Amino acid sequence: MDGLTLDFRTNRGRVKALRDISFPVRRGRILGIVGESGSGKSTVLWSILGLLAGNAEITSGRIDFGENDLLRMDAEAQRAVRGEQISVVFQDPMTSQIPVLPYARQMSDILYRRSMSGADKRRAAIDMLRRVGIPDPERRVDAYPHEFSGGMRQRAGIAMSMLTGPNLLLADEPTTALDVTMEAQMIGLMRGLRDDFDTTIVVVSHNLGLIAEMCDDVVVMYAGEVVETGEVHDIFHNARHPYTRALLECDPARIEDVSRKLPVIPGDIPDLTKPLSGCIFADRCQRAKPECATIAPPLVARGTGVARCHLLEGPLADASWPPPASV
């Protein structure tokens, strides 16, 4: 993803929802995008899927997938890539599964591009249901979604999304509807699938515990910008941006507790219909200096990623920042 910039046209004016979003997605790894609601993290995901609302307008940037820029492929090629090589796990399986069709039928429909017999499609569906931990899949493949528990439906949703052997799996808050035990199982399942199928996974969440447990790489978004990126251990032990540090602050159990949600930081995300200047986080930053409100900080390379803060570079650089990790 390189320089993605996107506005939503609304009756309040243009909302500058994503501004110059760039980060690499490394093959065979799990990337987590974390941020508060309104950070633009889901919009990034929907851009990759080509499922943006009609009032969205991408004004610049590229989304490279293999040799191609997804934003500049013709419609037929996009459909083929998005149907076969990129797939998605939704937050609520009830919205993505068809209640009136048994899984056998829904799953063979997903394989409609393949020249396979009906029996082979059924076999593929059963194998994938077994792989995601559905007991007795030979029988359960004929079940309807309402006959499954929430956790089983989410597993079936993952089976459906893995059926075509995608290179890239996208997941938007995949465990929101689940309890902590099932969430931990789901994290194990998705990591296992990544290992078995060499699928790259991008997961969006406001749940720091999920990101810490599941991901290899992390992108921290705030109000439509990338503020920090890095490998997971670097982000959780050595965060450099004041926003990331505020998210992680005072919680020695933060990595173990998968139920932990983003803490509340005083203040609100700025109004993205207004002209923006300076650091986007300045209103809420405890370290802000007057210049932060007028001069936008650049992204600078730090550790295993990048961070966007004046304390790290330039005339406002502060040698005592970031303080050492507290754990």
Residues forming contacts to Mg ion in the complex (CB under 5 A) are 42
42 binds, among Mg ion, ligand SF4, none (CB under 5 to 8 A by kind): Mg ion
Shortest Å, Cβ 307 to ligand SF4: 9
242 prior amide bond cis, ω within 30: no
Name the residue nearer to Mg ion (CB basis): 42 or 106.
42
Question: Which is nearer to ligand SF4, 122 or 310 (by Cβ)?
Answer: 310
Residue 311, binding choice from Mg ion, ligand SF4, none, Cβ under 5 to 8 Å by partner class: ligand SF4
State the amino acid at position 75 in one-letter form.
A
Rounded least distance, CB 18 to Mg ion, Å = 13
Q: Which residues sit at the interface with ligand SF4, rule CB under 6 A?
A: 242, 279, 281-282, 285, 287-288, 292, 297, 309-311
User: Three-class SS of residue 130?
Assistant: helix
Nearest approach, Cβ of 167 to ligand SF4 (angstroms)?
35
Q: Which does 214 bind (CB under 5 to 8 A by kind): Mg ion, ligand SF4, none?
A: none
Q: Which is nearer to ligand SF4, 82 or 241 (CB)?
A: 241
Alpha-carbon distance values, 46 to 42, 88, 119, 218 (Å): 6, 10, 34, 18
Residue 31 CB, shortest distance to ligand SF4, in Å, is: 23
Measured from the CB atom, is 168 or 292 closer to ligand SF4? 292
DSSP state letters, 134-181: -SSHHHHTT--GGGS-HHHHHHHHHHHHHTT--SEEEEESTTTTS-HH
- For residue 194, the minimal CB distance to Mg ion (Å) is 22
HEC string for 22-77:
CCCCCCCCEEEEECCCCCCHHHHHHHHHCCCCCCEEEEEEECEECCEEHHHCCHHH
Of residues 182 and 300, the one with the C-beta less far from ligand SF4: 300
Which stretch of DSSP H or E encloses residue 222? strand 217-222
Task: Give the 3-state secondary structure of residue 239.
Answer: coil
Which partner in ligand SF4, Mg ion, none is near 288 (CB below 5 to 8 A by kind)? ligand SF4
Q: 284 with 39: CB under 8 angstroms?
A: no
Which tokens sit at 110?
A: 């997903």
Three-state DSSP at 188 gives helix
CB of 138 to Mg ion, least distance (A): 37
The residue (of 45 and 316) whose beta carbon lies closer to ligand SF4 is 316
